[in-house]
Structure 1
Amino acid sequence: MSKELKTGIVIVLIIIGFFWGFNFLKGHDLLDGKARTFNVEYSKIGGLNKASAVTLNGLKVGQVSNIVFDERVATRGHLIVTFNVENDFEFSKNSVVRIYSPNPLAGSSLAIIPDYEGQPAVSGDTLQGEMEESLFTSIGERLDPLQTKVEKVIEKADTLFAGINKILNNETIDGINNSVTDFSVIISELKQTIRSVNNMVADNQGNLKTTIENTKNITENLNKLSDTLTTVNINSIVAKAENAIDNFNQLSKKLNANQGTMGKLLNDDKLYNNIEAATKELEQLLRDLKLNPKRYVHFSVFGKKPKEYSPSLPDSLQVIKE
């Protein structure tokens, strides 16, 4: 055997050993004929790549061998992940292959969630896949609606500040400053008023004390009066008042019914006219008696009869006739 042939054989053996050692370090034993191949379809793979580890119940049992796009029309854009399993542990076709991330700094891996019911999975089967949401993905999904709300709030705040800027022109600011100044003056005056009231209260503390005592005495007297009123027979007083009202009503009915002198006097016009005529005649009689007393009272020493009164003659003629 020539020296060149020996050198070529050694180089080939070194290349084969290097390739086998490299794959062995990655967890794939080329000499193991029990390796099985499975396919899984995902809409997204979340950073999964070739040579990513495949675990089963936490134990590494294989690795990802290939990732290609699905060319079918219905699922175009999806990704088909092919992975190898060197372990002969059996699980059914109903098992799920989940993409997960062991930690935020590490890449994604595949985890077989075994299901033992149904037909056993064999090499070449397509298993059901799912993707585990990571912490950052979950936070991002929750922050998205919050971000939308914050953006809306910021837009409304911008609109509000724009309106405020329009309102707060130089004249408005001057007015606000004047109002603040006036308010400060009012507060100062209120302080002075409070001081005056405090001084007044201090100066009249004795009078206030006397007033409070008098008020207390008045309250006590009112309580005594209230107690006295409670002892008064209010029912008897009310009954007497009702009787007086009934008597007055009966008197009013009699006056209106022409009963008695007062009733006839108030309601009988004829009686009123007669009384009025008699009053006038009495007045005339008294006037005539005052003017001509001799006509009614006559004294004669010698027994001379007075002349008879003739109503047809005036008073002046009666005097001449005598």
Structure 2
Amino acid sequence: MKYITKEVRIGIAGIAALCILVYGINYLKGIHMFKPSNYFYVQFQNINGLTKSSPVFADGFRVGIVRELYYDYNQAGKVVAEIDVDPELRIPKGSSAELTSDMLGGIKMTLLLVNNPRERHEVGDTIPGRLNNGIMEQAAAMVPQIEKMLPKLDSILASLNAVLADPALPATLHNVRDLTASMAVTSRHLETLMSKDIPQLTGKLNTIGDNFAQISNNLKDIDYAAAMQRVDSTLANVKMITDKLGRTDNTVGLLFNDPTLYNNLSATTANAASLLEDLKAHPKRYVHFSLFGKKDK
């Protein structure tokens, strides 16, 4: 132990402190130096500012970090990111990676895992990646459509200004206000009608319906067969009387069918008329009155 001098102790302490410092820095970056991990490669055309130690997520859960970034000088526009993920994570074949921006401007990588229970990527495989600009990309896609709409918007604004400058607009608004007031009054009248008159009318209709139901029940109780028999009997009696009126073997038939009665009545009427005319012409022949006694004609 005599060879362990003070300088050696200071050197060992310095090396230990340096190791602890390196481990602490990597730990703060999310790199666990003594924990087993799986390495995969993700290929992008644009990493949009992705840096080392950026988090890697799967279904919103952090599963690893970006260990290294490489630019493929053999294929322009190809950037490869080496990611370190949890050994227990299984990446099915057909999965991909996506770069998204958070609210603070940072870039994170998200693994889009597919449902493929039969095949999976082995350690060291390359996974396709793409860039998702989110709202900015959607806004950029909408810019050409907005540019096409600007002339139409100008035309619409010009038409709107022309309408607002029309002097008839205040009168129209005044008419609309009067119409609204009239509709309010009509609405109140309808409310009164619905609350008072309609229930009364409904009650009367119900009473009429009950009366019809009662009449129907009364009609149902009528013996229509007996009534029809009585009607037939009455019609037979009427027919019999009509037949007798047409014959001359009875007094009423003689009155209606014998012309002698008519002739006698005509003669009697003529005599009565002649008598009245003679009475008017010679009243003294039929009425004689004297205070001194009767005179001989």
Query: What TM bracket, shorter-length normalisation?
Result: 0.3 to 0.5
TM superposition score normalised by structure 1: 0.43
Task: State TM-score, norm by structure 2.
Answer: 0.46
Larger Rg over CA atoms: 1
